[in-house]
Structure 1
Amino acid sequence: MHPLMLNFILFFMICFVTAEEPYKVPPALIEVLDPKGLRVSIPDHEGITLFAFHGNVNEDFEMGREAGQMAQDVLRKKNGRWTYINRDIRLKNGDILYYWLYVIKDGLGYERLFQSYTVGSDTIVFKVDTNIPPDTPTPPGTPAPPDTPTPPEAPKPIDPPVKACEKSETIMNGKNQCRGSLIFHSQFTQSISKDWSHIVQIGGDYEDEFVVFDSNLTNSFIKSNCLVIKPTLLDDEHGKDFSLSGPLDLSSRCTSSTPCFMKRTVGKNILPPVVSGRLSTQNSFSFLYGVVEVKAKLPHGDWVVPEIWLLSKSLHFNKDKSAKIIIASSIGNDQLTFNSKEIGNKRLFCGLEVGSLKNYFEENKNSGYWSDQFHIFKMVWSPDQFIFYVDNKEIKRWNSRTDPPFISDSPDKNAPFNHEHFIMIGLHVGGLEDFPDGITNNGAAKPWRNDQTDRKLNFYRDTVNWHRTWNEETKLQIEYIKVWAI
């Protein structure tokens, strides 16, 4: 054989043997449990730190990456496998399980999309003793799960292998990210993670001036695997008529550029009568472009407003060019109307704000309220557009190439939404921005006017009326927040 040909063959063999093929999420082992339940698992590989299962029964995924009826992250392996278990679902012959898988391995995200499994007469059903605790080892004699068939070996590539990380347009904390990777995931199972910092301030601007934001455990806490943000009365914490007298000093933990100390009140200048919680990732996480998904239950009660926002990190303190992205909001009043239009808890809105300019998109309910149950709110943010969803249904989109820009003199049509944003979650009560003069609440006029200097005092005087609408549902509950690179 010619020496040049021999050298070529040796070079090719060395490249082929040493090239590392990118990880591929293996096929899932699907097990139907008896009398009810479902178990989905994949084998462990070195470097895996997370396995996520997303599934629907008899309903295919429209876009491929929706959360689905079942959505769960698994953070640890057991017996050499990463396993999702649902002990409540009951499957029958003919049911089709549509699902997709997500794995983080060596810090990179990998997907297996558009999968399906049909329950049939040949399905292997595993008997489950409901009296045995979930983590008890399988007793002897129980059939072992069948081995996942080894897929046929793929043809050996001649071209160099595709790199595992494809850089996306997403930037996190100043660095480009891998396309499709999960760059932020906050679950509230045990405690509020270090990703979040409490906002502490006395009132704010016209949007939240009726509220004291503090880090009290009565206003933000973990319960039933959710972050709960709940408003309370300042008088309940400090004593009767404290809002009318004071003083209030939060200086030791203040996070505001404005003073967190208010001396004894004089005349109409009273303290904000409500205490609530507000948290942000401003000190730990910010990003430009991505997919945000939030599973949350919105609050119910007069004058309460949930906050699930993205705020511009670099322009946050420039009021005229401050960029806010509202992922989901719904005012808590039962029947709130403005110009004969319902703007209360039957109306969900999301959208974009730049200073005083607002571009809101809405989804209205014919029956019930948006606070009745948990919903999945999603937003896709790219250089060209925003797309807003609720429960996998598209609400609206804004396109920077075709829709009017927010800043007309900027060379970038998507400005100021071309800067990194951080996440803010909270709940405020009353204020001016959300409640224009002329609205009616169950037929009655709003108890304050926005042009009054004593608007806080008038709101406080009406406490007996609005506070009686508050109950156990007057709280924002968040199960998780995820952000992916586009």
Structure 2
Amino acid sequence: MKVLVVFIFCLVRSTFGQFEVPDALVEVFRPRGLRVSIPDQEGIKLFAFHGKINEEMNGREGGTFSRDIPKAKNGRWTFYDANARLKEGDILYYWTYVDYFDGKNKLGYPNDDQKFVVKQLLDKDGAAPSVTPPTVTKAPPQEHTTLESGCKASVTTKVNERVCAGEQIFHEDFTTFETNIWRPEVKFADKPDYEFVFYRAGPPNLQVKHHRLTIRPVPSDAVFGEGFVSRREKVNLAPACTGVPGSIECVQTPGAFLILPPVTSAQISTKGKWSFKYGKVEIRAKLPKGDWIYPELYLNPVNEEYGPGYASGQIRIAFSGGNEDLCRDLRGGCILGSSPAARNYAVKNIVKNSGSWSDDFHKFIVIWKPDQITMMVDDQVYGNIYPPEGGFVSEAYNLDLVNVERWRGGTSFAPFDKEMYLVLGVGVGGHCFEDRSDATKPWTNNDPKSQKKFYQAAAQWGATWSNASRLEVDYVKAWAL
């Protein structure tokens, strides 16, 4: 009877719009125990899990495991079976189901034909999902030595020099804009995120005032005049351009469906001025609000020794879309490539029970070790990231990774074993937002006309932008391990 009800709900949902069931987090414990959960989202009223071990599901059958979860706990809807016994190599076939209330109707949404291969067993405890360390091949520990100052040396390096354990290695409270520390970008955005942005230095996009850094995205037409994005003449940012000389980062000519970036913004970094490897970074900031706006709080590789773009990895300290339906979800972790799978594989998230992450200031923290990255917000751990057996390169096929064979020459945590620099900025649109099945996203990521379609929808997203559509940073601090 329940399967029939689910089927009817699926027919009805096409009439009222679509909700996408979040992908489930599957955790298998030793010697026994199975936990499957999804993050809580506003509107979810029930979560159901149905699964079998080493036997494919016959459609939406009940399965060996079959349970309805009527209430979320600790920000997640969680199925748990303490007696389930699985071993490495087992395959869990399953489907999930959500009752979702969209404000008018409560409809049912399944997520069919799911599969999870058990690659490691986790130590059994009562911790929140994703914080139990799996057994992995770790980078060899560095021996602690004594520096000339007499202090104990840390595994942390700062500009390729060893530092004292526990030493504060960076402190910025934005009394003024320190040009010896920060480099403002001046360029048209390009790969790997293809954001719809022209990065500029100075007002109205970049400002340091009252001990606070403010970065605000502004429509290009509002800065340069109506019709700027489609003017039929070459725009050359040289000699101030910080992008690749002669490339589309520095020179663009609008024509046909190709337009100049419809939004101006700002991005600053410590590239060429300050970098480090391993340590703790804390940023106190208020995130921007407004459709398709997102913060750029990153660690980027200094020399791209493993290859260009995401082949050398990126650590996201905090990411949250400014849309009303996205701003409760905070994400952070490691970006391994440009494909959707590679952007999400090593990323953790935490969902705010009420309000959004852009309502107030929060402390966004990453602890980067030689064999582990810990994501925190306001001193709460919401995820740990470990390399799989064989390192991240072992997932190259599953994640559609390219040009990553160089990772085999690094540690088990490659590409996250090289010095990185800080990035603070605000992006808009581009590939940081996955394509959606509904009509609310005005562009698709691989459409060559995506930037123009976004520009044509300015009335839609522009109505959501306000004085809160800005990133405010109170301070940035970093410590050695």
- 1:232-286 Cα shifts (integer Å, max 9, x gaps): 1111111111111154331121010124554542110111100000111011111
SS of 1:460's equivalent in the other structure is helix
Determine the C-alpha separation between the residues in 2 that align with 1:375 and 1:231. 21
- Structure 1 residue 204: deviation in Å? 1.2
Q: Is the 8 A contact 1:249 1:260 kept in 2?
A: no
Name the structure 2 match of 1:332. Answer: 322
Determine the C-alpha separation between the residues in 1 that align with 2:473 and 2:304. 27
Determine the C-alpha separation between the residues in 2 that align with 1:320 and 1:203. 15
Determine the C-alpha separation between the residues in 2 that align with 1:416 and 1:261. 28
Name the structure 1 match of 2:451. Answer: 456
Closer/same/farther in 2, CA of residues 347 and 246 from structure 1, 3 Å limit: farther
Structure 1: 5+ residue stretches without partners:
1-161, 336-343
**1:297 aligned onto 2:286:** yes
> What pairs with 1:67-466 in structure 2 (closer than 5 Å)?
164-245=150-231, 247=233, 248-257=235-244, 258-262=247-251, 264-315=253-304, 318-319=308-309, 321-335=311-325, 344-356=326-338, 357-358=342-343, 359-400=346-387, 405-408=391-394, 409-410=408-409, 412-432=411-431, 434-440=432-438, 444-466=439-461
- 1:295-321 Cα shifts (integer Å, max 9, x gaps): 010000000010000011121752352
How many percent identity over aligned positions?
33
Closer/same/farther in 2, CA of residues 163 and 355 from structure 1, 3 Å limit: same
**1:470 aligned onto 2:465:** yes
Choose 472-481 or 190-199, whichever is displaced more.
190-199
Determine the C-alpha separation between the residues in 1 that align with 2:174 and 2:211. 5
Tell me which amino acid in the other structure corresponds to 1:269. L
- 1:168-226 Cα shifts (integer Å, max 9, x gaps): 10111111001111111111123345200011111211513411011132111013321
- Structure 1 residue 164: deviation in Å? 4.2
Determine the C-alpha separation between the residues in 2 that align with 1:308 and 1:320. 15
SS of 2:453's equivalent in the other structure is helix
Determine the C-alpha separation between the residues in 1 that align with 2:184 and 2:418. 23
Q: Is the 8 A contact 1:246 1:262 kept in 2?
A: no
SS of 1:235's equivalent in the other structure is helix
- Structure 1 residue 334: deviation in Å? 0.2
Determine the C-alpha separation between the residues in 2 that align with 1:163 and 1:303. 49
Tell me which amino acid in the other structure corresponds to 1:438. R
- Structure 1 residue 329: deviation in Å? 1.0
Tell me which amino acid in the other structure corresponds to 2:434. P
Closer/same/farther in 2, CA of residues 291 and 395 from structure 1, 3 Å limit: same
Q: Is the 8 A contact 2:284 2:364 kept in 1?
A: yes
- 1:360-411 Cα shifts (integer Å, max 9, x gaps): 10010121000000000111111121111100000111123x6662123446
Determine the C-alpha separation between the residues in 2 that align with 1:182 and 1:219. 30
SS of 2:291's equivalent in the other structure is coil
Determine the C-alpha separation between the residues in 1 that align with 2:214 and 2:252. 31
Larger Rg: 1
Determine the C-alpha separation between the residues in 2 that align with 1:246 and 1:182. 51
Tell me which amino acid in the other structure corresponds to 2:384. R
Determine the C-alpha separation between the residues in 2 that align with 1:446 and 1:418. 36
Determine the C-alpha separation between the residues in 2 that align with 1:439 and 1:476. 29
Closer/same/farther in 2, CA of residues 163 and 214 from structure 1, 3 Å limit: closer
SS of 1:294's equivalent in the other structure is strand
- 1:417-444 Cα shifts (integer Å, max 9, x gaps): 1100011111110002x2222254xxx4
What is the TM-score of this pair, normalised by structure 2?
A: 0.62
SS of 1:456's equivalent in the other structure is helix
Closer/same/farther in 2, CA of residues 209 and 387 from structure 1, 3 Å limit: closer
Q: Is the 8 A contact 2:190 2:248 kept in 1?
A: no
- 1:311-363 Cα shifts (integer Å, max 9, x gaps): 1112175235221000111000002xxxxxxxx10100001012232311001
Determine the C-alpha separation between the residues in 1 that align with 2:434 and 2:280. 32
Q: Is the 8 A contact 2:269 2:424 kept in 1?
A: yes
Determine the C-alpha separation between the residues in 1 that align with 2:315 and 2:250. 30
Q: Is the 8 A contact 2:367 2:375 kept in 1?
A: yes
Give the RMSD, CA atoms, in angstroms. 1.9
Tell me which amino acid in the other structure corresponds to 1:413. S
Name the structure 2 match of 1:45. Answer: none
Name the structure 2 match of 1:480. Answer: 475
Determine the C-alpha separation between the residues in 2 that align with 1:246 and 1:184. 45
Choose 316-325 or 211-220, whichever is displaced more.
316-325
Tell me which amino acid in the other structure corresponds to 1:334. E
Aligned length: 312
What is the TM-score of this pair, normalised by structure 1?
A: 0.61
